[in-house]
Structure 1
Amino acid sequence: MAKLDPELQQGLATMTTAAVSEDALIAEDIDSARSRNLAIPMMQARLENAGRFSGIPLASASYRTASQCLAQAVYYEAALEPEAGQRAVAQVVLNRVRHPAYPNSVCGVVYQGYSQRVCQFSFTCDGALTRTPQANLWKRAQAVANDALSGRVMPDVGTATHYHADYVVPKWAYTLGKITKIGRHIFYRFPGSPGRSASFYRGWSGREILPSIDFDRFRLAASQQDDAVSIEPAYTPGLTVEPDVKDRHAVADVGGRIDTTKTWRLSIPDPVQLSAGYRSTLEGQGETQPHQIPNEETQP
């Protein structure tokens, strides 16, 4: 196998399938991503296949473990994809098993980086595994996995080792060879000799291990996220007590509200009676006690 470009080799660990939920994106983001993905040209090199996968005894415990890991990849990465899209995802996993750049076991490929901040298949490190699979979709994923482990090949993706959803554009999409699009996923292979079929020569490791997942960290992360997005009560300037439906307090009013439970009442002072400065000004103008209301006793 020709060696990978050093920069590409260094970036392998971060070339994840991770994608934000489509529901979390606005239409402009999705449209922009699809346009940019369309602008990436298809690879002109001849499509080659990595060949049939074999080597795991069908009746062995390793086969059952490998089947579970591969079915998980198919389900959590492509449960709602067409059957061809699911088979393509399974083919990517098995292509990696045979490529020297990756672990040479099915579970090793699927769970690569599962305990790290960035993993290769996003469902192993983003908490998706805490969701119980839907029975009918899980059964279909198992069938796809078993077919792939039994040697069925998905020729449309050839030697693809990467894919991503069409509504995101990872940086690594510009560094690999774009092969095809199936369903919502776009598939890529390594450029040059590392992506040729001759580089997919490695045999199966001889054992499969399903790693122990720390589900508590997913639950903790989810609870912390919920706390972070909790909405604080809106502050309304001028309110000293909680609003009440019987209030006549205007929405735009920035004045204080009277708390009538505190036994005090609003009192507006009379500037004529209490302001010495006001009276002094009037006296200086030759006026005294303007607007005085006559006493009933002095009236004729």
Structure 2
Amino acid sequence: MASVSENLSDKGLARLTADMDPAMLALARRHDPHHGPDLWGRPEGWASLDLRTPPDLGFGTAVDAVAEDINALRPFSTLPIRPMKPFKLAVDTQDGSRALKCLAQAVYYESAREPELGQEAVAQVVLNRLRHPAYPKSVCGVVYQGAARATGCQFTFTCDGSLARAPQPDLWLRAQDVARHALNGFVAKGVGSATHYHAQYVAPYWAPTLVKMKQIGAHIFYRWTGPWGEPPAFTGRYAGGEAYLSAAILGSLDERTQGLLDPEGQGVPAGRKITLSVGGEVRTYNVVDPLAVGGERTRVLGTIFAPRRKPTPEEIKKINESLAAMDAPVATETAPLAVPAPD
């Protein structure tokens, strides 16, 4: 009689199961705690991974110190950053003036206090998206994509109420200059073909699915993976129509990073109203909001990004002192008149 150890070896088990009834063998294998190697060579657990649910590392979208630690763990890509071709749009036309305002809004509300290079990078992302086949073909369309969704606006300020706050004049002029420069052909070479970014204190679920390129100021920039993230893929043509933000654009999402969150391609059919001011022209669009039946609201709360962290009392004090210093009149000192010496 064979020993117990022999019967429990792979060879022994194969001998024991050779004469088993197929149904009994299938039942035994179902309850076998030892799983054999995956025939496709996949990592353990991959065969049962549900890709319809994005990974969240166990705590959702992280913010603050935890997010910074997570971002630091993932290294920047060593792939080359290839600059994009210049984009030019005359701002003295109807479309151009509207495009300038939308791009300046993105620069201001996303990066008003970032260094100039960081603001230029944000403008570059908007123009990169415009020319990528996956995004709208106008500047305002890119900026306000998803603004009517309960969640999912592409640029946070378009759906979190930020537009209700009037911009600070000097910072707004600076944002306009950056936007005008970008529409006149300036290329922010440092971020290449980046189409996504997030603040360093946020770790969104989609970050590991893209190529981590570079950090400028407080923002980390990413591009698509593979050939569709390289400059030759950006073949989209500017279509104009900056004032006409359709319900399809206002209700659409980023298939590259949000496709898993909207498997049915929900979109936003007609139902309620949203009012937007673009380039000085106010237009109302019919869109749906499951939280408001027949109501009219100018902003829809919600975004795929975690909210920006609350400033500390010390930071608030410092910001207020900075604003007060900028608003204070500049004192000018007049030198006393020289009195000629007596002869």
Q: TM-score, normalised by structure 2?
A: 0.54
Which residue in 2 is equivalent to 1:32? 66
| Deviation per residue, 1:177-209 (Å, 9 max, x gap) | 000001100000001101011011222103312
Distance 1:41 1:219, change over 3 A: closer
Structure 1: tracts of 5 or more residues without a match = 1-9, 12-19, 223-300
Is 1:150 the counterpart of 2:184? The answer is: yes
Q: TM-score, normalised by structure 1?
A: 0.61
Is 1:217 the counterpart of 2:297? The answer is: yes
| Deviation per residue, 1:70-107 (Å, 9 max, x gap) | 00000010011111110000000000000001001100
**Percentage of identical aligned residues:** 49
Which structure: greater helix fraction?
1
The counterpart of 1:130, out of the listed 164, 168, 192, is: 164
Matched length? 197
Aligned residue runs from structure 1 range 35-50, under 5 A: 35-50=69-84
CA distance in 2, matches of 1:217, 1:166: 31
Is this contact kept in 1: 2:128–2:193, CA < 8 A? yes
Residue 219 (structure 1) shift: 7.5
Residue 218 (structure 1) shift: 5.7
| 4+ long deviations beyond 2 Å | 56-59, 210-222
Which residue in 2 is equivalent to 1:198? 232
Which structure: greater strand fraction?
2
CA distance in 1, matches of 2:98, 2:301: 28
Distance 1:220 1:168, change over 3 A: closer
Distance 1:60 1:180, change over 3 A: same
| Deviation per residue, 1:1-21 (Å, 9 max, x gap) | xxxxxxxxx99xxxxxxxx9x
Please provide the CA RMSD for this pair: 2.5
Residue 50 (structure 1) shift: 2.0
The counterpart of 2:112, out of the listed 61, 79, 90, is: 79
2:85 partner amino acid: G
CA distance in 1, matches of 2:111, 2:119: 6
| Deviation per residue, 1:197-238 (Å, 9 max, x gap) | 10112221033126532796368979xxxxxxxxxxxxxxxx
Instruction: Answer with 1 or 2: which has the greater Rg.
Output: 1
Which residue in 1 is equivalent to 2:138? 105
Distance 1:44 1:220, change over 3 A: closer
Residue 57 (structure 1) shift: 3.0
Structure 2: tracts of 5 or more residues without a match = 1-51, 54-60, 246-274, 277-283, 285-294, 303-343
Which residue in 1 is equivalent to 2:254? none
Which residue in 2 is equivalent to 1:241? none
Is this contact kept in 1: 2:91–2:99, CA < 8 A? no
